[in-house]
Copies of this chain bind each other. A is one copy, B any other.
Amino acid sequence: MSKIKDVAKRAGVSAGTVDRIIHNRGRFSEETADRVRKAISDLNYKTDIRARNFSLSLKCRIAVLMPFPELNNDYWKLPLEGMKNALEELSASHVTAEFFHFHEYNHDKFQNMIRNIRKKQFDAFVIAPLLHDEILKLFDTLFDDKPVVFFDSDIESSPRYTYIGQKSVEAGHLAAKLMNQMISGSDNKILIITTDSGNEHLTDRVTGFLEKISFKTETIEIPVNPDNMTEILEKIRPKLGSEYNGVYVAYSSCHYIAQMIEEQGLEKKIPLVGYDLVPDNIMHLERETISYILTQRPIDQGYLSIKTLYKKIILGQESASEQLMPIDIITQENLASYIRMREIS
């Protein structure tokens, strides 16, 4: 391995000059630059990243903007867990993060949070961009040219660095295939449950499902923060097993239905497909009141978000502009193996 001094000697200049030419800073003549560049390629010089890191003692201070972890049936705890894993792994590399949480529908508090972020210095951002418009405005006023990673959902029109996430239409297709397979006979009806949040993932998961399902369907939209949840559920209860022969829940609230199925003594008789390995869903998978849970690796999404910024800022390695997770099928039989995996990090 040749060093910067070797290059300098070969080009007949000093190490300082080589450094200036490599980083295109300070002043130098084009002729020397050519000689130096030739020497670099002759010797196959690569700057020693360890010495570089040591010398620069780069820091990577990340601000994470995402909903409160306990929202959506603890869903947001999952990417959070992945981020914490990455941060621990990289703690020695001076990668740190500060977390800023918000409610999806409280714009005032969001603005307040942004004011807090402005008071501090960050080198990069990880964001679940649920509040499209608010986030877009920040590119001019807050992010400057600092790298921004979106996870969970994307704003394609934005100058973000990378999106780490999911393809939800495909997930809907898969859910429909599993449902089709579990139900025999033709005169059946599937209940689809979603919310009125306007969340793109949810509409995509429903659209995909409808494209491939072989049975009649009926869709119920549950409000985001329902004050009358029991009432809604009670309307569904009597129809389970009679009118509805299967249930598809497009988000993490699947366990509510599982609970009712269990109370009605209909386990294993009503196929139930939902999303996300949140604690209540795990419990019902174990009892087989939920047939299948689909996930797009939220823990990995969190992990990769931090890791991607580390690679860019500390190692100077670029990543793909889109990193899409596979759709995992989880059922009673492989659940344990998934939960074990979490402990690996």
Q: Given A174-B334, A328-B328, A181 and B184 touching (CB < 8 A)? A: no
| Contact present for A337 and B315 (CB under 8 Å) | no
Q: Residues of B contacting A170 with CB < 8 Å?
A: 333-334, 336-337
Contact with B along A301-345 (1 / 0, CB 8 A): 000100000010001010010011111110111101110110110
| Contact present for B50 and A331 (CB under 8 Å) | no
Q: How far is the CA of A323 from the CA of B345 in the complex (A)?
A: 10
| Nearest Cβ on chain B to A130's Cβ, whole angstroms | 23
Surface stretch bound by B, among A51-59, A73-81, A191-199: A51-59
Contact with B along A80-111 (1 / 0, CB 8 A): 00000000010011100000000000000000
Residues 24 to 48 of chain A near chain B (Cβ within 8 Å): 46, 48
Minimal Cβ-Cβ distance residue in B for A316? B92
| Contact present for B331 and A344 (CB under 8 Å) | no
Q: Residues of B contacting A51 with CB < 8 Å?
A: 54
| Contact present for A337 and B344 (CB under 8 Å) | no
Q: Residues of B contacting A48 with CB < 8 Å?
A: 92
Q: How far is the CA of A333 from the CA of B294 in the complex (A)?
A: 12
A20 at the interface (CB under 8 A from B): no
Residues 173 to 204 of chain A near chain B (Cβ within 8 Å): 173-174, 177, 181-182, 184
| Contact present for A174 and B57 (CB under 8 Å) | no
Q: Residues of B contacting A50 with CB < 8 Å?
A: 50, 53-54, 57, 92-94
Q: Residues of B contacting A344 with CB < 8 Å?
A: 304, 320, 323-324
Q: How far is the CA of A343 from the CA of B329 in the complex (A)?
A: 21
A229 at the interface (CB under 8 A from B): no
| Contact present for A320 and B337 (CB under 8 Å) | no
Residue in contact with A181 in the complex, picked from B181, B326, B328, B337, CB distance below 8 Å: B181
| Contact present for A334 and B326 (CB under 8 Å) | yes
Q: Given A54-B54, A315-B92, A334 and B327 touching (CB < 8 A)? A: yes
Residue in contact with A320 in the complex, picked from B57, B304, B328, B343, CB distance below 8 Å: B343
| Contact present for B341 and A326 (CB under 8 Å) | yes
A10 at the interface (CB under 8 A from B): no
A167 at the interface (CB under 8 A from B): yes
A49 at the interface (CB under 8 A from B): yes
Q: Given A49-B92, A51-B54, A54-B54, A337 and B326 touching (CB < 8 A)? A: yes
Q: Residues of B contacting A174 with CB < 8 Å?
A: 331, 333-334
| Nearest Cβ on chain B to A334's Cβ, whole angstroms | 4
| Nearest Cβ on chain B to A267's Cβ, whole angstroms | 15
Instruction: List 26 A–B pairs whose Cβ atoms lie within 8 Å, in order of A's numbering.
Output: A46-B92, A48-B92, A49-B93, A50-B50, A50-B54, A50-B94, A51-B54, A92-B315, A170-B334, A173-B333, A174-B331, A174-B333, A177-B331, A177-B332, A320-B343, A320-B344, A324-B344, A326-B328, A326-B334, A326-B340, A327-B334, A327-B337, A328-B328, A328-B334, A329-B329, A329-B331
Q: Return the 6 tightest CB-CB contacts between A and B, nearest first.
A: A174-B333, A49-B92, A54-B54, A326-B337, A327-B334, A329-B329
